[in-house]
Amino acid sequence: MNNHESTHSGWPPISNGLTDIGRMLISCPDRPGIVAAVSRFLYEQGANIVHSDQHSTDPSGGTFFMRVEFQLPELEKRGPELEQAFAPVAEAFRMDWRLAYAGRVKRLAVFVSKAEHTLFELLWQRRAGDLRAEIAMVISNHPDLGETVEGWGIPFHYVPIEQGRKHEAEARQLELMAGRVDAVVLARYMQILTRQFIAQYPYRIINIHHSFLPAFVGANPYARAYERGVKLIGATAHYVTEELDAGPIIEQDVQRVDHRHNVDDLKRIGRHIERVVLARAVSWHVEDRVLVHGNKTVVFA
Amino acid sequence: MNNHESTHSGWPPISNGLTDIGRMLISCPDRPGIVAAVSRFLYEQGANIVHSDQHSTDPSGGTFFMRVEFQLPELEKRGPELEQAFAPVAEAFRMDWRLAYAGRVKRLAVFVSKAEHTLFELLWQRRAGDLRAEIAMVISNHPDLGETVEGWGIPFHYVPIEQGRKHEAEARQLELMAGRVDAVVLARYMQILTRQFIAQYPYRIINIHHSFLPAFVGANPYARAYERGVKLIGATAHYVTEELDAGPIIEQDVQRVDHRHNVDDLKRIGRHIERVVLARAVSWHVEDRVLVHGNKTVVFA
Amino acid sequence: MNNHESTHSGWPPISNGLTDIGRMLISCPDRPGIVAAVSRFLYEQGANIVHSDQHSTDPSGGTFFMRVEFQLPELEKRGPELEQAFAPVAEAFRMDWRLAYAGRVKRLAVFVSKAEHTLFELLWQRRAGDLRAEIAMVISNHPDLGETVEGWGIPFHYVPIEQGRKHEAEARQLELMAGRVDAVVLARYMQILTRQFIAQYPYRIINIHHSFLPAFVGANPYARAYERGVKLIGATAHYVTEELDAGPIIEQDVQRVDHRHNVDDLKRIGRHIERVVLARAVSWHVEDRVLVHGNKTVVFA
Amino acid sequence: MNNHESTHSGWPPISNGLTDIGRMLISCPDRPGIVAAVSRFLYEQGANIVHSDQHSTDPSGGTFFMRVEFQLPELEKRGPELEQAFAPVAEAFRMDWRLAYAGRVKRLAVFVSKAEHTLFELLWQRRAGDLRAEIAMVISNHPDLGETVEGWGIPFHYVPIEQGRKHEAEARQLELMAGRVDAVVLARYMQILTRQFIAQYPYRIINIHHSFLPAFVGANPYARAYERGVKLIGATAHYVTEELDAGPIIEQDVQRVDHRHNVDDLKRIGRHIERVVLARAVSWHVEDRVLVHGNKTVVFA
């Protein structure tokens, strides 16, 4: 097991207190006995449950979701044996499940174009220790933010997207990320990904859309919000799927606006909503708090 | 000048303190000197400005909006002469304008179907003196709420809408309202009005739509919000125009929801948003705070 | 077991769907195995867990809180035997616990003075089925609201508080409530209760204070908020304890205000916050979602 | 007239579009004719009013406040003559007034200790062009943030506060600022200023207090909020006066918390509120939107 955390020079490490913490993520058809079986299993393994969240879409015939955070001495070493021991329990309840090791801090590739605000928020939250992930690299189709990003001690890769040659650019991006990245954050990245790229990181690509979806899907949402005369503007963080701006929503928020605000004001106010919404969604993802169910999410925040 | 206020038995009158209060509502092409001309005019007439709000879409070539609330002794008597004196000022600046007499409390017809929550909020706010309007009558296409409404001392008219005979029903509604109503509030009224009806009360019919428009235009917005997995649900109060759910937005608000809420929960939470949003919009309308500009509103709240 | 629900004439019963639903409320020193023991117990009894919430102040040496909502056929009949069977489990973990029967809808006495807004909200939410409790009676030290309350079909008791004779008045109140009331709601009741009265309903008296506590403890909070020039005003629902406005907080909320608002405006805006905050707190209490811990609450909302 | 703006290397200048923009800030006893006199004066001078806000605490005998933003060609040159011409108008209405030149971008000294979050927000908003001020220098009683601040191209001065020698340290601070600074921002600066220092910058020192004042005046507000079990935590930006945490409030905001949050969580959540609240207050101050009235503020936001 290699070390998943490469701290930035001078920044505090963020794995403190996460060693020996495991997170069991489960979804299965609901029926009596699931919680009893899982909690008994963990108890018998010597694990101490720290947090536990459950949700059922319907106790009769619905889907059951569970996130259990537990502490187990020497988890990193004992993990494989634990997973093996859990297999029969999982099978009995037809569970879709995984065990996440909190100590293996997730590594992010942040994709940007020219706008810096959502990237900066992620960097600041990482530096403050609020975002418990490593920003392994920043990839951009413009060179503009390179100097700033490298000034923060983070690798910056300029990968231009030439007309009609997106597949080549994406191949380069995937090569840069291979084995070094657990999830992709589109921090106001102004390119549409191909379905082939998306398939490489299923439900591990998070986009921030600058509207309160499903209102204003597509381009220029602030200009269209202005035209429609809405009294609130919003932002939406969602997993990227093939259909544009239609993937499972992780988080949304809004802010009040009024007739005094022109399109530039909406963009300025919107920048603050985008920063907060994307940072929350990324934090929840890297802390294994988001489970996808159909085209929706269960967020154990 | 007839008395515009017929207080409900036992309810406090709401015109207190509004006599002698006038509101000048102006929109015109922006150019220097407008505020100077209007404020000088009012000063010379002996009026004391109590509140004043202005807005310009663009100081060069845009539209200017103004709402001035002033006190003038014997306004009700001196009004016509004041309006005549202002005409040359208005003409010089090519103003679209009107003078509203705050003492002439606006009379509302509230249209309902079976849901009572937005109606009750309006009644409660009227009774508390927060809504400064008279609820002159309630009109419904169902008899269900009749007893309750009459119990509050308010006339209730049951006007069923039979298949293919909407024009007859609307004729009856218009007849009931003629000369007795200044504005119409659609308080979860589940019928679409004809363009002929709408033309009788231009920008004086307020609807509450149970979604954050322009998301979920049309029927069953809560069910569709649930399907999409949004993290906030909302409500929108707007003036009714010919195109469904597309008129000028007066007010919107939202509330946070999550995966634990089913469609019924969304409806329950939504009821509270609808109540608040509609009541705010109606209050602003009856206090002459809303100016329509194209398909948008300027709200001097 | 007597029937705890006496529906108001014409109002829908609210126990629908609550029969056979039990809620186990537990607090105990945290240590491994609690969830496993409780969930195994329920599973073996044939109960199906519908919702489950847990909280630990500290996995090492802290206090553990749990609320499990489960379905068990014939719960009302089987309850005593269930409670007996659980006793050894509870003892092993040194649990403070109780079993609440959701079908035994809680009965409220609402205390008011002259202000009606929070009372009306509770009545409206009860009528809409959002507040799952019976309003068994309204008690007031003023006769003003009697007619209105009785018009809703709810018993109204006028119990004046004469100078220096509060104990007699409280004795009368307690007599009226004896055996008929599970919790008391002070809906802007302008009298301070004696410690003797409070002791009769420990952590079962909910008050709404018209400020964002601990700011503006005591009288005239809106006037003092105005003097201080705050930019947000709030309301706080809390359990009543001997020390004034110092009991465990259940819920708080705020609304933005600015320099344009005078004290009357703050009161008007505040009324809306009070309504919402009190109704939320009462709903959580009657649904057994609030656990008291020291002078704080754990709210499994 | 010297140039008030020294842009940071590589950062966009922020005075764009502000040249020739003046802001008249007026307070005086309310009486009829004020708006007419001011608007007529500006019109006659050839100024075009861009925005105008007014407020009266009471039309009869209260105080009137006005902020007029206008455009006047060659304002910088014509200013003195304009001010001279206005003097008689001001005298007639007993006005307290000043003319602010928007093109003279205000210069800030930001005082910090070790926490960086509010400083970073100001830097980021300045860089984005949202904060229309120059950050002329950062002064700290700790050397920790020096390298980072200088990396942003901003002068950093380390001025330690030795036991019993605060006056010497403040003398050094005042010397550093003399002629170079228009306002002081205490961005989580953990020292109390002396009355002598405060007197040098009356109503031009803005502090961020990490609680919803007047709750939790003084030290350790988050720990005390945790102890009290509040359901919302807040932050307050206010002008510094002699009495601790008691100066005029400019802005406040809150965020919801619950039983799951420990003191560290409150601090983390609080950091985000502090950032937003301080940045808003500083923006309003530098755009001449804040008028002080007694111990309160009128904010024309």
Inspect the interface and report whether the beta carbons of B124 and C128 lie closer than 8 Å. no
CA distance B25 to chain C (A): 20
CA B286 to mean position of chain CA atoms: 6
What is d(CA A63, CA A31) in angstroms, rounded to the nearest whole number? 9
How would you classify residue C46: left for phi > 0, otherwise alpha for psi between -120 and 50, otherwise beta?
left
What per-residue string of b and e applies to B230-244 under the rule 16 or more CB within 10 Å gives b? bbbbbbbbbbbbeee
Average pLDDT for chain A = 94
The mean pLDDT value for B20-38 works out to 95
Query: Is the preceding omega at residue C221 within 30 degrees of 0, hence cis?
Result: no
Q: Give yes or no: residues B226 and B139 share one domain.
A: yes
Q: Give yes or no: residues C141 and C239 share one domain.
A: yes
Instruction: Tell me the residue type at A195.
Output: R
As a whole-number percent, the residues of chain B with pLDDT over 70 amount to 96
Each residue of A86-122: pLDDT tens digit?
A: 999 999 999 999 999 999 999 999 999 999 999 999 9
Instruction: Give the residue among A96, A58, A75 at the shortest CA–CA distance from A203.
Output: A96
Which one of B31, B39, B51 has the shortest CB-CB distance to D39?
B39
The torsion angles phi and psi of A66, rounded to 5 degrees, stand at: -145, 140
- Interface test with chain B among C52, C53, C125, by most B beta carbons within 10 Å: C125
What is d(CA C65, CA C47) in angstroms, rounded to the nearest whole number? 20
Number of cross-chain residue pairs from A and B with Cβ atoms under 8 Å apart: 75
Instruction: Tell me the residue type at C33.
Output: G
CA distance D66 to chain C (A): 13
CA distance B281 to chain C (A): 15
Q: Give yes or no: residues B94 and B123 share one domain.
A: no
Count CB neighbours of D213 within 10 A.
Answer: 24
Question: Running DSSP on this structure, what letter comes out for residue B29?
Answer: E
**Active-site residue list of B:** 245
Question: Running DSSP on this structure, what letter comes out for residue A31?
Answer: -
Inspect the interface and report whether the beta carbons of C231 and D252 lie closer than 8 Å. yes
The torsion angles phi and psi of D67, rounded to 5 degrees, stand at: -130, 115
ipTM computed for the complex = 0.93
Q: Give yes or no: residues C120 and C207 share one domain.
A: yes
Each residue of D54-81: pLDDT tens digit?
A: 999 988 889 999 999 999 999 999 999 9
Inspect the interface and report whether the beta carbons of A268 and D151 lie closer than 8 Å. no
In terms of CA atoms, which chain D residue is nearest residue B65?
D51
Is residue D7 very low, low, confident or very high in pLDDT (cuts 50, 70, 90)? very low
What is d(CA A300, CA B4) in angstroms, rounded to the nearest whole number? 55
CA distance C134 to chain D (A): 27
Each residue of D256-287: pLDDT tens digit?
A: 999 999 999 999 999 999 999 999 999 999 99
Q: Which residues from A are below 8 Å from C when comparing CB atoms?
A: 31-33, 35-36, 39-40, 42-43, 46-52, 54, 56, 59, 71
The pLDDT value given to residue A279: 98
Inspect the interface and report whether the beta carbons of D32 and B47 lie closer than 8 Å. yes
Domain boundary among C66, C101, C136: C101
Each residue of D86-96: pLDDT tens digit?
A: 999 999 999 99
Q: Give yes or no: residues A215 and A89 share one domain.
A: no
The H-or-E segment that residue B56 falls in is: strand B48-56
- Partner chains of C (3+ C-beta pairs under 8 Å): A, B, D
Instruction: Give the residue among C104, C128, C132 at the shortest CA–CA distance from C287.
Output: C132
Each residue of D146-163: pLDDT tens digit?
A: 999 998 899 999 999 999
> Alpha helix (H) ranges present in chain C?
34-44, 75-92, 117-128, 146-151, 166-177, 195-200, 221-228, 263-286
pLDDT exceeds 70 at position A9 = no
Inspect the interface and report whether the beta carbons of D36 and B36 lie closer than 8 Å. yes
Inspect the interface and report whether the beta carbons of B130 and C276 lie closer than 8 Å. no
Could you tell me if residue C1 is inside a domain?
no
What is d(CA A216, CA A243) in angstroms, rounded to the nearest whole number? 14
Residue A86 CB-half CA count within 13 A? 26
Do residues B233 and B270 touch, judged by C-beta distance below 8 A?
yes
Query: Is the preceding omega at residue C202 within 30 degrees of 0, hence cis?
Result: no
Domain that holds residue C189: 107-299
The pLDDT value given to residue C6: 46
Which one of A128, A151, A276 has the shortest CB-CB distance to D151?
A151
In terms of CA atoms, which chain B residue is nearest residue D65?
B51
3-state SS of chain D? CCCCCCCCCCCCCCCCCCCCEEEEEEEEECCCCHHHHHHHHHHHCCCEEEEEEEEECCCCCCEEEEEEEEECCCHHHHHHHHHHHHHHHHHHCCCEEEEEECCCCCEEEEEECCCCHHHHHHHHHHHHCCCCCEEEEEEECCCCCHHHHHHCCCCEEECCCCCCCHHHHHHHHHHHHCCCCCEEEECCCCCCCCHHHHHHCCCCEEEEECCCCCCCCCCCHHHHHHHHCCCEEEEEEEECCCCCCCCCEEEEEEEECCCCCCHHHHHHHHHHHHHHHHHHHHHHHHCCCEEEECCEEEECC
What is the residue whose two structure tokens read 């709402």?
A: B67
Q: Which two tokens stand for residue D251?
A: 């802005």
Inspect the interface and report whether the beta carbons of B43 and D32 lie closer than 8 Å. yes
- Partner chains of D (3+ C-beta pairs under 8 Å): A, B, C
Query: How far is the CA of B164 from the CAs of A66, B182, B255, in angstroms?
Result: 53, 28, 38
Which one of A117, A130, A151 has the shortest CB-CB distance to D128?
A117
Q: Considering only CB atoms, which chain A residues are within 8 Å of D276?
A: 272
Q: Considering only CB atoms, which chain A residues are within 8 Å of C102?
A: none
Which residues lie closer than 8 Å to C48 by C-beta, 6 or more apart? A31, A32, A59, C70, C71, C72
The pLDDT value given to residue C10: 59
Q: What angle do CA B198, B203, B209 make, to 5 degrees?
A: 80
The pLDDT value given to residue B66: 97
Q: Give yes or no: residues A84 and A37 share one domain.
A: yes
What is d(CA D205, CA A10) in angstroms, rounded to the nearest whole number? 33
Which residues lie closer than 8 Å to B93 by C-beta, 6 or more apart? B28, B29, B31, B33, B34, B37
Cross-strand bridge partners of residue A184: A109, A205
CA distance B284 to chain C (A): 15
CATH number at residue C234: 3.40.50.170
CA distance C30 to chain A (A): 10
What per-residue string of b and e applies to C187-206 under the rule 16 or more CB within 10 Å gives b? bbbeeebeeebbeebebbbb
In terms of CA atoms, which chain D residue is nearest residue C260?
D55
Q: What angle do CA A236, A238, A242 make, to 5 degrees?
A: 125
What is the residue whose two structure tokens read 């019976």?
A: C134
- Interface test with chain A among D122, D130, D274, D283, by most A beta carbons within 10 Å: D130
Secondary structure of residue A156 in the 3-state scheme: strand
The torsion angles phi and psi of D290, rounded to 5 degrees, stand at: -110, 120
The mean pLDDT value for C83-107 works out to 97
Could you tell me if residue C32 is inside a domain?
yes
Do residues D284 and D106 touch, judged by C-beta distance below 8 A?
no
What per-residue string of b and e applies to A222-243 under the rule 16 or more CB within 10 Å gives b? bebbbebbbbbbbbbbbbbbee
Inspect the interface and report whether the beta carbons of C117 and B130 lie closer than 8 Å. no
Inspect the interface and report whether the beta carbons of D52 and B48 lie closer than 8 Å. no
The pLDDT value given to residue A114: 96
Catalytic: which of A182, A245, A265, A288? A245
Instruction: Tell me the residue type at C263.
Output: V
DSSP output for A272-294: HHHHHHHHHHHHHHHTT-EEEET
Q: Which residues from B are below 8 Å from A when comparing CB atoms?
A: 55, 212-216, 228-232, 234, 248-254, 258-260, 293, 295-299, 301
What is d(CA A234, CA A256) in angstroms, rounded to the nearest whole number? 9
Size (chain B), residues: 301
pLDDT: which is higher, A270 or D1: A270
Q: Give yes or no: residues B208 and B273 share one domain.
A: yes
Q: Considering only CB atoms, which chain A residues are within 8 Å of D268?
A: 128, 130
pLDDT exceeds 70 at position C3 = no
CATH number at residue D94: 3.30.70.260
pLDDT exceeds 70 at position B39 = yes
Is residue B107 very low, low, confident or very high in pLDDT (cuts 50, 70, 90)? very high
- Helical axes C263-286 vs C221-228, angle rounded to 10°: 120
C265 is known as an active-site residue = no
Could you tell me if residue A137 is inside a domain?
yes
Q: Give yes or no: residues A128 and A157 share one domain.
A: yes
Could you tell me if residue D188 is inside a domain?
yes
Each residue of A116-175: pLDDT tens digit?
A: 999 999 999 999 999 999 999 999 999 999 999 998 899 999 999 999 999 999 999 999
pLDDT exceeds 60 at position B7 = no
Domain boundary among B78, B101, B124: B101
Which residues lie closer than 8 Å to D235 by C-beta, 6 or more apart? D208, D209, D210, D211, D212, D252, D253, D270, D273, D274, D277, D278
Could you tell me if residue D5 is inside a domain?
no
The mean pLDDT value for A252-272 works out to 96
Each residue of C234-276: pLDDT tens digit?
A: 999 999 999 999 999 999 999 999 999 999 999 999 999 999 9
Inspect the interface and report whether the beta carbons of C130 and B276 lie closer than 8 Å. no
Sign of CA pseudo-dihedral A145, A147, A151, A153:
positive
Q: What's the domain count of chain A?
A: 2
In terms of CA atoms, which chain A residue is nearest residue C72?
A32
Could you tell me if residue A7 is inside a domain?
no
Q: Give yes or no: residues C77 and C119 share one domain.
A: no
Could you tell me if residue D82 is inside a domain?
yes
CA distance B24 to chain C (A): 20
Q: Give yes or no: residues A68 and A211 share one domain.
A: no
The pLDDT value given to residue A33: 93
Catalytic: which of C245, C253, C264, C288? C245
The pLDDT value given to residue B230: 98
Each residue of D184-220: pLDDT tens digit?
A: 999 999 999 999 999 999 999 999 999 999 999 999 9
Which one of D216, D252, D259 has the shortest CB-CB distance to C298?
D259
Instruction: Give the residue among A179, A157, A180 at the shortest CA–CA distance from A169.
Output: A157
Q: Considering only CB atoms, which chain C residues are within 8 Å of A49?
A: 32, 35, 54, 59
Instruction: Tell me the residue type at A88.
Output: P
Q: Which two tokens stand for residue B43?
A: 């000063």
CA distance C216 to chain B (A): 25
Domain boundary among A42, A72, A101: A101
> Rg (Cα) of chain C, in Å, rounded?
21
Sign of CA pseudo-dihedral C263, D292, B298, B81:
positive
pTM of the model: 0.95
Which one of B128, B271, B272 has the shortest CB-CB distance to C117?
B128
Could you tell me if residue B89 is inside a domain?
yes
> Alpha helix (H) ranges present in C99-252?
117-128, 146-151, 166-177, 195-200, 221-228
Inspect the interface and report whether the beta carbons of D252 and C232 lie closer than 8 Å. yes
In terms of CA atoms, which chain D residue is nearest residue B72?
D32
pLDDT exceeds 80 at position B1 = no
Q: Give yes or no: residues A64 and A120 share one domain.
A: no
pLDDT exceeds 50 at position B6 = no
**Active-site residue list of D:** 245
Is residue A10 very low, low, confident or very high in pLDDT (cuts 50, 70, 90)? low
Count of H-run helices and E-run strands, chain C: 8, 13
Q: Give yes or no: residues B83 and B189 share one domain.
A: no
In terms of CA atoms, which chain C residue is nearest residue D57?
C260
Inspect the interface and report whether the beta carbons of A117 and D124 lie closer than 8 Å. yes
Q: Which two tokens stand for residue A96?
A: 């879709």
Average pLDDT for chain C = 94
